[in-house]
Amino acid sequence: MPIPLIDLRRQHRSIRKRLQSAIKRVLKSGQFVLGEDVARFEREWAAYCGVAHAVGTGSGAAALHLALLVLDIGPGDEVITVPFTFIATVSEITRTGARPVFVDIEPRSYTLDVEKLAEKIEREYVFHERIGYLVNRTTWRRLKAIVPVHLYGQMADMRPILELARRYHLRVVEDAAQAHGAEYRMEPEARPFKAGSLGDLGCFSFYPTKNLGACGEAGAIVTQNAAWAERLRRLVNNGRADAHQHLEEGFNYRLDTLQAAILRAKLRYLDRWNERRRELAALYREKLADVEEIVLPEEMPYGRHVYHRYVIRVPDRDRVRRQLGEAGIETAVTYPVPLHLQPAYRHLGYRPGDFPVAEACARTVLCLPLYPELREKDVARIARALRAALRSGR
């Protein structure tokens, strides 16, 4: 029997009754746009993340776009993020008219390298007293924000990021698309913060394969700021303040009502599912800890990993991947080409070698199957097949 990378059918089978009754409720109500399920999901998601407000959106990309817009980011501005992420993190910066600026990731967490971030800011920007922003010494654009990406289910090291942001008057938009329920501790014994709740705004995708996934496209923005939340709620709905008043132009970026109902039905399982992902990740570690050639995912001491993806690094990755495929094991590579080397970003002027960690990860990362319904015997089989593939290459 082949082992797929992810199997949503199994998840949906296990909660079929709840999903069906959520869908029936919406069909019966006849309300397919906004309404009670969207409003309730927003409240429930805000409560889950430990923030005051959540605004549903049509996708994670829409969430990022609007989060940057409410911070007045646009032409003449720069936003720092990483080159090792899904393209939407960067394309939504560009969409505002701002210029994305990359800082490399660090190799243990695969997230923004905070030392390189500080170095870049100090080397390339100067604080402009009159306008109150850091200004790029070469491009003369204003640096407005940092977008850390919590990749594969683990948060970036937020404390130093927030300290730099405070020092230099920068906003922080968390890309938490892959980190529903991941946590961060400011101090070893302190209470943990949920992904999305530490920056000025946090953005989520509920793409079907995410830890909390819709049965279609969906996303959300979370924030503690009531004024931003109010404006976001207008912006997702064509700028509508009420039935006939548009305070500004907005977008059709609404969270779909059926998706909101489905997300509400699934949210109650998220912690259980995340816990199961962690157990399976621990099992992978147990089975693979002695394999010297590979690098296993590491949980950073500051946080709680929710293993959106189980990503290892392997030499000769493409051959290993092929052999796993021949053994009936589906894998994925996220991401084989870092964004600074994508044709879409040629105009930014980056070259191979500019972000060596992202480039090395792009050559070696391999995502193994991981989802709450994966069986322990599947993990054992994957580990055996991986060992065999590595042996045959020696």
Query: Where on the chain is the footprint of ligand PLP (CB under 6 A)?
Result: 59-61, 85-86, 88-89, 149, 175, 177-178, 205, 207, 219
d(CA 349, CA 173): 25
End-to-end CA distance of the chain: 27
Task: Between 149 and 261, name the residue whose CB sits nearer to ligand PLP.
Answer: 149
CB half-sphere exposure, 289, CA atoms < 13 A: 7
Residues facing 3 on adjacent strands? 329
- Minimum separation from the CB atom of position 110 to ligand PLP (A): 11
- Minimum separation from the CB atom of position 334 to ligand PLP (A): 8
- Minimum separation from the CB atom of position 381 to ligand PLP (A): 28
Q: Sign of dihedral through CA atoms 302, 305, 311, 312?
A: positive
- Minimum separation from the CB atom of position 235 to ligand PLP (A): 16
- Minimum separation from the CB atom of position 394 to ligand PLP (A): 35
3-state secondary structure (DSSP) of residue 22: helix
- Minimum separation from the CB atom of position 147 to ligand PLP (A): 9
Residue of minimal CB distance from ligand PLP? 60
Task: Between 178 and 197, name the residue whose CB sits nearer to ligand PLP.
Answer: 178
Task: Between 59 and 331, name the residue whose CB sits nearer to ligand PLP.
Answer: 59
Task: Between 219 and 372, name the residue whose CB sits nearer to ligand PLP.
Answer: 219
- Minimum separation from the CB atom of position 173 to ligand PLP (A): 11
d(CA 139, CA 11): 49
- Minimum separation from the CB atom of position 388 to ligand PLP (A): 31
3-state secondary structure (DSSP) of residue 34: coil
Q: From the centroid of its chain, how far is CA 253?
A: 19
Long-range contacts of 283-288 (CB under 8 A, 24+ apart): 283/376, 283/379, 284/310, 284/368, 284/370, 284/379, 284/382, 284/383, 287/379, 287/380, 287/383, 288/312, 288/383, 288/386, 288/387
- Beta-carbon contacts of 134 under 8 Å, excluding residues fewer than 6 positions away, are 121, 125, 126, 127, 128, 142, 143, 168, 169, 170
DSSP 197: S
Task: Between 91 and 136, name the residue whose CB sits nearer to ligand PLP.
Answer: 91
3-state secondary structure (DSSP) of residue 329: strand
d(CA 9, CA 255): 23
What type of residue is 363?
Answer: R
Task: Between 51 and 149, name the residue whose CB sits nearer to ligand PLP.
Answer: 149
What type of residue is 11?
Answer: Q
Task: Between 151 and 385, name the residue whose CB sits nearer to ligand PLP.
Answer: 151
d(CA 238, CA 256): 14
Q: Could you tell me which of 78, 125, 83, 79 has the C-alpha nearest to residue 106? A: 83
Task: Between 202 and 250, name the residue whose CB sits nearer to ligand PLP.
Answer: 202
- Minimum separation from the CB atom of position 232 to ligand PLP (A): 16
Task: Between 149 and 260, name the residue whose CB sits nearer to ligand PLP.
Answer: 149
- Minimum separation from the CB atom of position 205 to ligand PLP (A): 3
Task: Between 178 and 331, name the residue whose CB sits nearer to ligand PLP.
Answer: 178
Element (H, E) at 31: none
